[in-house]
Structure 1
């Protein structure tokens, strides 16, 4: 609160939206917007995060339509790209930070690729643009549509989501599985924009699915290292027991298996560690 004239606070479920206030999503909760109110939801992660930007943008656009301004700043991957696309489709304004000045240009670049944006600005230029937009006359909201939203049933994720935005209703089963729960992913191709959602509600962009699979592959490889090393240790123990009772043929056979398992584990470990060193070097260069 000491960094500017606006009061900021962690959002609370059911809190009335007040002017000139900054609401911050609490940890591990999606921040959703309903007409006049804030909702918090521990619904499934989107793009592998909770809170995530897309549910906030999507719910704000559904509640306030052309009165919404969505802004995507520096960040990794592409969270916010789909949400900003929804804001534009509901008549709102889309602003992204100029990727050329962003420390991590992936999020603003992805938002620009996902659909039309109204302004690409440097961070220093964004406050003035917000003031200009706030001073413009409010665009009217279709009251019939607002009442339909108010009557809409809340999904298991805690969000009043229109059918056209729910991949499980409008999409088709894909060949991919959810990186979070391994369930089937439904996919929707909206122009150049591809998005996925599983039965329980985990939602992903292609980049988020890719990131999830990368983590799954790494986890599976470390599991393989552990299994191979445990198997080698067992073979060594059996070899010693066989040698102790004079069964040298069995002792050699167990020892050979142990050597093979240890070599396989070492090979996979080297692959994983070389990948880690490559990522660390890339971070240092960036």
Structure 2
């Protein structure tokens, strides 16, 4: 049997912080006759409205629109994930899902990339643009394992280099460019026939994660076992126990499916710790202020026995607050005043 060359006709793009400018540059660099469909997953707040399709449609010649559930995967079109929906690839159709958040995000880049790895395989190109942390790195690795091609914005150009750097730490690729060059190379890549070769079937773990993204939140999406031992950590989304995934573990999921990368989990707990310290600091400041007021009232009413007690309480609270404030400023200098 003669192997038939194929064309890469699905491009999945992931972005987060700083991603609008990167996406505009990519849209500007793609020609009007671009022969592939473009699926864009960018982190958006759940209740927000998104003007990203209009922005990308004005930036370049390709039409851009919010993806529609069950709609066709159209070549020469930019399909943008709407807020609070994962954008997934089906068998020739687009799928929108309210599956569990991943590292706190829906849409999540990993979910889009995994679906392209399963349903497009060698015909897919994954592109990671500006963003913080590491969403997209696991999905890009899965796409490459299935024969797809990885492209990454040059971290030196990205406004937020975290996502590009983490993608490159996990997946080696020669296609690392500034956005305008990336778009030009991408156009050449999808026009060049690919040489067919052996492609491994999707792994059970990849199929499971894709199914979780499609099915929505439900109990026992992942169950404890030898391959998924309890991590000892709790899910920031629902408070449930997180199970370890991978060897060594670099991904965690709770039993209803919320997913967290190690880096995202660390950052989330860091934010929770910072908020808790901020709450404690405000409580100490308010307790000191209240004790001072009670001290003045006691003095005014001649209850001198209480005056010293309230004065000691105020002094202890202020001393503790000052210690906590110095710690906060040393650990989180970007927060400025924590009061």
Query: Is TM (by shorter chain) over 0.5?
Result: yes
After TM superposition, the score normalised by the length of structure 1 is 0.79
SS of the residue 1:2 aligns to: helix
Is 1:134 the counterpart of 2:172? The answer is no
Flag the 1:75–1:156 CA change in 2: closer, same or farther, 3 A.
closer
Aligned-partner Cα distance in 2 for 1:153–1:180: 18
Aligned-partner Cα distance in 2 for 1:152–1:278: 40
Which one is further off, 89-98 or 270-279? 270-279
SS of the residue 1:272 aligns to: helix
The structure whose RCO (Cα within 8 Å, separation 6+) is larger is: 2
Partner of 2:231: 174
C-alpha deviation, 1:42, in angstroms: 2.7
C-alpha deviation, 1:72, in angstroms: 1.0
Q: 1:255 aligns with which of 311, 320, 323?
A: 311
C-alpha deviation, 1:155, in angstroms: 4.7
Q: Summarize the alignment of residues 171-210 of structure 1 with structure 2, pairs less than 5 Å apart.
A: 171-190=228-247, 194-210=250-266
Check conservation: 2:222, 2:256, Cα contact below 8 A: no
Flag the 1:153–1:245 CA change in 2: closer, same or farther, 3 A.
closer
How much is the aligned-residue C-alpha RMSD, in angstroms?
A: 3.4
Is 1:53 the counterpart of 2:112? The answer is no
Aligned-partner Cα distance in 1 for 2:250–2:209: 26
Partner of 1:105: 161
SS of the residue 1:5 aligns to: coil
Flag the 1:152–1:112 CA change in 2: closer, same or farther, 3 A.
closer
Aligned-partner Cα distance in 2 for 1:76–1:188: 22
Check conservation: 1:88, 1:116, Cα contact below 8 A: no
Q: Summarize the alignment of residues 18-29 of structure 1 with structure 2, pairs less than 5 Å apart.
A: 18-29=74-85
Spell out, residue by residue over 1:108-139, the C-alpha distance to the aligned partner (whole angstroms, 9 max, x if none).
Answer: 22111113335223323322332333224467
Check conservation: 1:167, 1:187, Cα contact below 8 A: no
SS of the residue 2:73 aligns to: coil
Flag the 1:71–1:55 CA change in 2: closer, same or farther, 3 A.
same
Which one is further off, 112-121 or 208-217? 112-121
Flag the 1:195–1:167 CA change in 2: closer, same or farther, 3 A.
farther
Flag the 1:5–1:241 CA change in 2: closer, same or farther, 3 A.
closer
Check conservation: 1:6, 1:22, Cα contact below 8 A: yes
Aligned-partner Cα distance in 2 for 1:73–1:23: 16
Spell out, residue by residue over 1:183-224, the C-alpha distance to the aligned partner (whole angstroms, 9 max, x if none).
Answer: 222122346x71222223222222211210111011101111
Consecutive unaligned residues of structure 1, counting only runs of 5 or more, are 281-286
Check conservation: 2:65, 2:80, Cα contact below 8 A: yes
Consecutive unaligned residues of structure 2, counting only runs of 5 or more, are 1-56
Query: How many equivalent residue pairs?
Result: 270
Partner of 2:30: none
Check conservation: 1:80, 1:107, Cα contact below 8 A: yes
SS of the residue 2:58 aligns to: coil
SS of the residue 2:94 aligns to: strand
Partner of 2:270: 214
Is 1:80 the counterpart of 2:139? The answer is no
C-alpha deviation, 1:74, in angstroms: 2.5
After TM superposition, the score normalised by the length of structure 2 is 0.68
Aligned-partner Cα distance in 1 for 2:196–2:105: 34
Q: Summarize the alignment of residues 152-163 of structure 1 with structure 2, pairs less than 5 Å apart.
A: 155=211, 157-159=213-215
C-alpha deviation, 1:25, in angstroms: 1.3
SS of the residue 2:238 aligns to: coil
Partner of 1:272: 328
